[in-house]
A and B are shown apart, each in its own frame.
Chain A
Amino acid sequence: MQLHQEKFRWLCASLLAATLTLSAQLFAEDAATTRLSHAAQLLTSGNLERAENEIQAVLRLSPDEYRALDLLGVIRILQHRTTDAEELFRRVVEIKPDFASGHAHLGLLYLQVGRPKQAIPELREAVGLDSARTDASDALLHTWREQAQASTAAGDSATALALLVDARKLAPNNPDVQFELGMAALRMSLWQDAIEAFQRTLQLRKDDPMAVWGLGRAFMGQSKFEEARDQFARYVVIRPDDSSGHCSLGMTLAALEHSADARAQFDQSIALAPAQTESYYRLGLLDLENKDLDSAEKDLRHAIERDPKQSGALAAMGRVEFERKHFSEAAAFLRQAIDNDDSLRVAHYYLGLTYSRMGRKPESDRELEKVTQLEQEEVEKQRTIFKISDPGSVSAQTP
């Protein structure tokens, strides 16, 4: 109820602001419509009755005077007679389809009564006809962002992205829109789109920590580890007490084969948030790569104790046991990892190798086939992403 009242106040404020603009225009352009200008002034001063009298006088002489009908619609909204208002605004845009105010008022009304799908085309039309109509553009932007948030919450990232692309066209210099678009692109692995959005965000809002983080994450998605490393390094300067920043920086440093520096970042992350699993898991991976199996086990067991379903850590423990040639133990860990995440390619790979070493060829073949299948699916997915990013081309040769 409170929300409803707030929306109504917002709508009224928008309408009155628009009416002021209208009255100014009327004064300027046509002396014959003095009555309407007067009505607009009365309306903005809150004298609805006198305003309506002036408008009705005009309509008696000229029943299709769209400006009068539009002003009357505003009065009806202020009188909470939304059905009558809708009818009036619809008549306005029917009589004068290129009258931005009519579309704007109709759109705003639709928003007021909770019909955003109908509101959006009217508001778009209003903005298209008159790009200076900030009431319509603000409302449109607000609606798109709200809908994008709802779509994201419902798991529909594609719709969210489409809405935010529209929002960005409308407000290219709005850092919130750019950031939200970046996040939506990130969720869809549209790395290049995310990078461009976050870069624009940072042009508009320098050192926005979340945009810096998002930019780093998008660079990681593109395997541009140096660029990612730069962004996460910037992030930990901005937010030195955020453990996830140190962990992310550690991941990029590990990818760049700076093992010692990566280790320092993971340690820092653990010092800031000892209850986490991710940095322990990453430390375990570093040890595993260097075949320091005992250290790897120690770190990975930390991660698994805290989160028994951490599929990455389970798979890494499977690799530790595989390296030790403890194939039964390896298979057990790797199966657990797959039970928690069937798309974990590395787990299928080492389970295939493990079964092969155990002489279980059919099972090995099945797992290794799954590895190939998962990789092909990833290639296909990547190809689709390329097409979305650049529909005119096919994928380029990249590492």
Chain B
Amino acid sequence: MGRSLKVIVLVLSVIAILSGIRTAFTGKEIFAAESQTSAPPGRFIDVTEKLGIHFHHQASPTSKKYLLETMGSGVALFDYDNDGRLDIFFANGARLDDPTPKGTIPKKDDAKYWNRLYHQKPDGTFEDVTQKAGLDGIGYSTGTAVGDYDNDGFEDLFVAGYGRSTLYHNNGDGTFTDVTAAAGVAGSGWMTSAAWVDYDNDGRLDLIVARYMQWDFDDVYCGNRATGFRSYCHPDQFKPASVLLYHNDGNGKFSEVSHPAGIDKPGKGLGLAIADYDRDGWMDILLANDSIPEYLFHNRGNGTFEEVGLPSGAGLDGNGSSFAGMGVDFEDYNNDGWPDIVITDLAYQRYALYTNAKDGTFDYSTSVAGLGAISLLHSGWGVHFLDYDNDGWKDLLIVQSHVMDTIEVTEPNLRYREPPLLLRNEHGKKFADVSALSGDVFHQEWAARGLAVGDINNDGKLDAVVTSNNGPVWVLMNHTETSNHWITLKLVGVKSNRDAIGAQIRISTQAGEQFATVSTSGSYQSSSDKRVHFGLGAADSIREIAIRWPSGIHQTISNQKADQIVVITEPAAGNY
């Protein structure tokens, strides 16, 4: 943002001089930034090389500008071997010929196209264990979703892709088995983000997979022939495609229930997030659609959903316009106990922030929360609420880039590569841009796409992993200087799904209450640490931790000390 404003001022100065109207601007400064924040910044450091991670995403760009090439792939942060340390999985592209014949399902015919699993060693560095784990993959991979679908205590991995997705069962010995065919979750079309969610509260994780559009390798020319540059086609050029909902039947098999569940409304889905926005005990699903209204699937609690995006107020922006929804997160940013929504989109659209109005509807809060001014010239993909400074308020980390690598030709004020954005939550009222002071990484321009969040080094500060399109990845270690306290909760379901995905947590400290939902989904095509992290500010203990498990069991734990990772197992019985 700062750099963009400097450019504006420079351009204006030049115009002023050229047109002889310099005096008009002297002393007036009408184009200066409106506000500079004094909020405490974060400190994120790029440790990718140091940790031994050398992944490079292969988008396989062609002269045909196939849309698939610019959408990137995601990342998953999860502990696949239960050693207490987060590991990292990167999805990767595949070979695309130039041209690629229509109907082609791309292949990973070279090791450079492999997906990669990096295992975290006790010393905090990583080793590539892809081959041993059997996760090199097939096809053009896009999204990742982590969940223990068979409740065996080992995290399984779903990798979405173009044409075919893959479900890997974690064998518990460092290896994975492709069980896609037996499970029946290969899907079809262009699959993007995916989420594990127990939508019917039967104790087994179900799977929802977003699909982008009905798209193939057609040679469609988009852009301006006269000026001689070709661009990626707008989604308006293609027909929508519905999400796929797979019900976990409990025997390693899934049934595709999109239609009977009423969730098959065609969309242009890129981001998926889950939360129980109306606190009725059933997990709802938010689908971030590109250039059509966003969908909010309200869970009726009887195995079916009703799409209520528009009437709920979360379907369009404050002017009733759709936008290019890409990444999404669904968390309670103002600590009122009701999940809110943030959706990233393209420059000039402003990132959408919807505050839960506690009556089943949402208020579009982008401007009043300061997000409009901050995001006006930015295009965002991965997004995650995270309390980077442990002050008890969930901040926002957003990774950015325009979708068109030629954007600077048509829109000189915009950039294809952009730095990430760190926004500090000012007590649930406003967000302040603290990027400029939060480390070198916030001054580097990336074609970023995926973002996963988790405490990689278990130091009580949330870290992040970022992917880029046709480029490197970054592991951002959080070294924010703060004396604030924290607690991380790892929930283990018994009657509920073992990951406890969907469990709702309320913590009380001297400073007040905070709320969170257990989830690995959200962001863009990525999967984050399932453990729930709370910053506690000055509080060195938690008065009460209250959990509503997906099974309906209520559990309360009192007087927990801060600054620790606590494992909480679902009790056999509790207060329903």
Binding site for B on A (CB under 8 A): 206-207, 223-227, 229-230, 233-234, 236-238, 253, 256-261, 264, 289-291, 323, 345-346, 348-350, 352-353, 356-357, 361, 364-365, 368, 371-372, 375, 379, 383, 390, 392-399
Task: State whether B310 touches A390 (Cβ < 8 A).
Answer: no
Show 26 A/B contacts (Cβ-Cβ < 8 Å), sorted by A.
Answer: A224-B413, A230-B11, A233-B24, A234-B15, A261-B30, A289-B372, A290-B367, A290-B368, A323-B363, A345-B319, A345-B320, A345-B321, A346-B319, A348-B320, A371-B316, A379-B236, A383-B236, A390-B224, A392-B225, A394-B221, A395-B222, A396-B224, A396-B234, A397-B404, A399-B379, A399-B411
- B64 CB to closest chain A CB (Å) equals 14
The dominant DSSP class at the B interface is loop
Q: Is B260 an interface residue (CB 8 A)?
A: no
- B80 CB to closest chain A CB (Å) equals 37
Q: Is B546 an interface residue (CB 8 A)?
A: no
- B411 CB to closest chain A CB (Å) equals 7
Task: State whether B15 touches A230 (Cβ < 8 A).
Answer: yes
Nearest-neighbor residue (CB-CB) of B319 within chain A: A346
The contact of A253 among B30, B223, B368, by CB within 8 Å, is B30
Cα distance, A226 to B411, chains bound together (Å): 10
The contact of B372 among A257, A260, A345, A353, by CB within 8 Å, is A257
Please, which residues of chain B bring their CB within 8 A of the CB of A352? 310-311
Please, which residues of chain B bring their CB within 8 A of the CB of A256? 376
Q: Is B92 an interface residue (CB 8 A)?
A: no
The contact of A261 among B24, B31, B232, B379, by CB within 8 Å, is B31
The contact of B320 among A230, A238, A371, A397, by CB within 8 Å, is A371
- A269 CB to closest chain B CB (Å) equals 14
Cα distance, A159 to B174, chains bound together (Å): 72
Mask for B357-395, Cβ within 8 A of A = 1, else 0? 000010100011000110010010000000000000000
The dominant DSSP class at the A interface is helix
Task: State whether B367 touches A289 (Cβ < 8 A).
Answer: yes
Task: State whether A390 touches B311 (Cβ < 8 A).
Answer: no
Task: State whether A234 touches B21 (Cβ < 8 A).
Answer: yes
Task: State whether B313 touches A353 (Cβ < 8 A).
Answer: yes
The contact of A257 among B224, B225, B373, B404, by CB within 8 Å, is B373
Nearest-neighbor residue (CB-CB) of A249 within chain B: B30
Cα distance, A394 to B238, chains bound together (Å): 12
Task: State whether A398 touches B233 (Cβ < 8 A).
Answer: no
Cα distance, A258 to B32, chains bound together (Å): 9
The contact of A289 among B224, B349, B368, by CB within 8 Å, is B368
Please, which residues of chain A bring their CB within 8 A of the CB of B182? none
Chain B CB within 10 Å, residue with most, of A234, A264, A383: A234
Cα distance, A48 to B500, chains bound together (Å): 107
Which residues of B229-270 have CB atoms within 8 Å of chain A's CB atoms? 231-237
Task: State whether B318 touches A289 (Cβ < 8 A).
Answer: yes
Please, which residues of chain B bring their CB within 8 A of the CB of A238? 21
Please, which residues of chain A bring their CB within 8 A of the CB of B346? 399
Q: Is B286 an interface residue (CB 8 A)?
A: no
Please, which residues of chain A bring their CB within 8 A of the CB of B404? 396-397
